[in-house]
Amino acid sequence: MTVEAAPVELTVGPPAHGGHCVARHDGRVVFVRHALPGERVRARLTDARPGARFWRADAVEVLEASTDRVEQVWPEAGPGGVGGGELGHVALPAQRRWKSAVVGEQLRRVGGLDVADVPVHGCPSDTDGRGWRTRIELVADAEGRAGMHRHRSSEVVPLTTMPLAVPWMDVEGLLARRWPPGGRLSVVAPEHDRRVVLVDGVPWGERGPDTRTNARTSVREQVTVAGTEHTWRVGAAGFWQVHRDAPAVLAEAVLAALEGLGGMTLVDLYSGAGMLTRPMAVLAGAEGRVHAVEGDRRAVRDARRNLHDAQGVTLHHGPVAEVLDSGAVPSADAVVLDPPRVGAGRRVVEQVVALAPGRVVYVACDPAALARDLGYLADHGYRGAQVTAFDLFPATHHVECVAVVDRA
């Protein structure tokens, strides 16, 4: 609900976590999307409830542009459009400066850590912020047209383009088809395997549902990490990193953080299908052990297949907190955490501390959750946080971090 029908003129301030910038209107904080720091814009208020602590707005006209502004790489994600491309109007180097400032601010304000802004590194295949997604989620509208939800809305907007997807996904063909109204599409297109399309969990081919008992519902992911080629089999409906370069980038960052710990006991929490577990097992070697803990049944099924030939790996199925409470993992020389967006939380952090690892490596897709959990670790004597950030989500506000802390 808005209190003003006409756009308001705003002078835009610094970026904030969530993909918007901070401005003020009549003394009230306004979070503005589709703007850049330092710009003067006309903005349409999208959420301006009386008495609210802050308002939300979309910049719809730029009066004074930043030198970092570029043509939106995905116009359908522009003002009033779908979510998922909120920084598409920002030059790629400036996107990374934006994310660097946000990560640093969250670590300082939420985690109480004494850190400067964290540099954000790009990926080898990124040139203009397009062509990186190997996984997309779509929903069909009432006419069967594939689209996405309008930002902060349940309304489905039919799409004509999806430039963030890898070119071999053939998004144009998907968007030209008609699908079951209301159907949810999961599209997976690895670099080294054929595309899989699921509609409400059912595999689909060119002629409709594929009801064969051997219809493909999983894909092969092939990645070279630190000179070793690994292959995973992952359910198309399961979790895997969406950026084409992300598995190698993150696994190599984790291995670098674990350097010198070969032959020791390593723990991989929220291990999924084993994306980090396999490279960790290579590092641990014949004399080491790796405990992998995952709660999702489908991911564990994939992990058992992916880790069947990995030496020294024990896979534990169950919620991380419950597995650690059970004593199934008695101790660790180092712990790696790769939790969902909400983070690990105080209980799991305290359980990690109880394992007495000398080093903790935390992979995070949300800087606020990371900052909170690093603060908890600092309270238990794990200090000297070294944080590296990676731009695994160009044209969006999302950023991936790898943090390393050691026991004092």
51 pLDDT band, cuts 50/70/90, is confident
Contact 253, 279 (CB under 8 A): no
209 located within any domain: yes
19 pLDDT band, cuts 50/70/90, is very high
Give me the pLDDT at residue 5, please.
61
Q: Are residues 48 and 173 in the same domain?
A: no
Q: Are residues 38 and 163 in the same domain?
A: no
Q: Are residues 58 and 167 in the same domain?
A: no
Q: Are residues 202 and 284 in the same domain?
A: no
Reported pTM:
0.95
Q: Summarize the confidence of residues 192-197 as an average pLDDT.
A: 97
Given 221, 254, 272, the domain boundary residue is: 221
Give me the pLDDT at residue 116, please.
85
6 pLDDT band, cuts 50/70/90, is confident
For the record, the structure tokens of 314 come out as 């024990």
Q: Summarize the confidence of residues 366-376 as an average pLDDT.
A: 98
Euclidean distance between CA atoms 146 and 138, whole angstroms:
6
Q: What 3-state class would DSSP assign to 4?
A: coil
83 located within any domain: no
Query: How much of the chain, in percent, has pLDDT values that exceed 70?
Result: 99
Of 1, 17, 35, 202, residue with least CA distance to 9: 35
Contact 333, 358 (CB under 8 A): yes
Asked whether the predicted pLDDT for residue 254 surpasses 90, the reply is: yes
For 175-189, how does the pLDDT look when each residue is reduced to its tens digit (9 = 90+)?
999 999 999 999 999
323 located within any domain: yes
Asked whether the predicted pLDDT for residue 163 surpasses 90, the reply is: yes
215 located within any domain: yes
Euclidean distance between CA atoms 219 and 212, whole angstroms:
17
Q: Which of 21, 123, 365, 401 is catalytic?
A: 365
Q: Are residues 275 and 384 in the same domain?
A: yes
Q: Are residues 272 and 356 in the same domain?
A: yes
2 pLDDT band, cuts 50/70/90, is very low
391 pLDDT band, cuts 50/70/90, is very high
Of 121, 106, 115, 109, residue with least CA distance to 383: 115
Given 189, 221, 253, the domain boundary residue is: 221
- Domain region containing 58: 8-69
Could you tell me which residues come within 8 angstroms of residue 201 by beta carbon, excluding any fewer than 6 positions away?
Answer: 186, 237
Give me the pLDDT at residue 281, please.
97
Q: Are residues 31 and 48 in the same domain?
A: yes
Euclidean distance between CA atoms 157 and 154, whole angstroms:
9
354 located within any domain: yes
Q: Are residues 319 and 170 in the same domain?
A: no
Contact 30, 23 (CB under 8 A): yes
209 pLDDT band, cuts 50/70/90, is very high
336 located within any domain: yes
Is 114 annotated to bind a ligand? Reply is no
Angle (CA) 45 23 128, round 5°: 90
Is 241 annotated to bind a ligand? Reply is yes
Asked whether the predicted pLDDT for residue 3 surpasses 90, the reply is: no
189 located within any domain: yes
For 68-114, how does the pLDDT look when each residue is reduced to its tens digit (9 = 90+)?
999 999 999 999 999 999 999 999 999 999 999 999 999 999 999 99
> What mean pLDDT value characterizes the chain?
96
Give me the pLDDT at residue 117, please.
83
DSSP 75: G
Q: Are residues 310 and 359 in the same domain?
A: yes
Residue 5 exposed, middle or buried by CB count within 10 Å (0-12, 13-18, 19+): exposed
Annotation says 123 is catalytic: no
Angle (CA) 286 315 329, round 5°: 85
188 located within any domain: yes
Number of domains in the chain: 3
> Strand order in 400-407's β-sheet?
120-121, 382-390, 400-407, 359-364, 334-337, 265-269, 289-294, 313-317
Query: How much of the chain, in percent, has pLDDT values that exceed 90?
Result: 96
Q: Are residues 363 and 344 in the same domain?
A: yes
Q: Are residues 250 and 211 in the same domain?
A: no
The CATH number linked to 326 is 3.40.50.150
Is 105 annotated to bind a ligand? Reply is no
Of 257, 234, 226, residue with least CA distance to 335: 257
Q: Are residues 162 and 261 in the same domain?
A: no
The CATH number linked to 23 is 2.40.50.140
Could you tell me which residues come within 8 angstroms of residue 154 by beta carbon, excluding any fewer than 6 positions away?
Answer: none
Is 382 annotated to bind a ligand? Reply is no
